[in-house]
Amino acid sequence: MRAQDLWFQDCGLIIQAEDTIFCVSGAILAVQSTVFRDMLSLPTPGDGDTIDGCPFVLLPDTAEDTDNFLRAVLCFGFFGPFPAPTTFPVLLSDGEALEIAAVARQLGADWILPTSFYRICQCSFDRAIITGDELSDADKVNCIKGLRYLETTGAMNVLDFLLASYSNCSTRTRCMESRQTICREVETERRKYDAEHFTEMLLELFLEDPVANVCVNCFSKMKEVHEDAQKELWDDLPRIFGLDDWKKLEAMKVEALK
Whether the link from the prior residue into 81 is cis, omega within 30° of 0, is: no
159 in a structural domain = yes
Q: In what helix (H) or strand (E) does residue 12 lie, and over which residues does it extend? A: strand 12-17
Q: Is residue 138, in this structure, part of any structural domain at all?
A: no
| Model pLDDT for residues 190-237, shown as the tens digit of each residue | 666 665 555 567 777 766 655 667 888 888 888 888 889 988 999 999
Residue 210 falls within a domain, yes or no?
yes
Give the pLDDT of residue 80.
45
What average pLDDT does range 40-50 have in this prediction?
A: 62
User: What pTM was estimated for this model as a whole?
Assistant: 0.65
Is residue 254 in a domain?
Answer: no
Q: Does 149 score more than 90 pLDDT?
A: yes
Quick count: other Cβ atoms within 10 Å of Cβ 176? 18
Q: What is the CA radius of gyration of the chain?
A: 22
In a domain, 172, yes or no: yes
Task: Write down the pLDDT at residue 217.
Answer: 83
Co-location of 236 and 149 in the same domain: yes
Instruction: For residues 60-67, give the mean pLDDT.
Output: 87
For residue 181, being part of any structural domain is answered with yes
The reply to whether 234 falls in a domain is yes
Query: For residue 155, what are the domain limits?
Result: 145-240
pLDDT at 130 over 80: no
pLDDT at 198: 54
CB count in 10 Å sphere of residue 55? 16
Contacts of residue 185, defined as CB under 8 A and 6 or more positions apart, other chains included, come to none
Reply yes or no on whether the pLDDT at 84 is more than 50: no
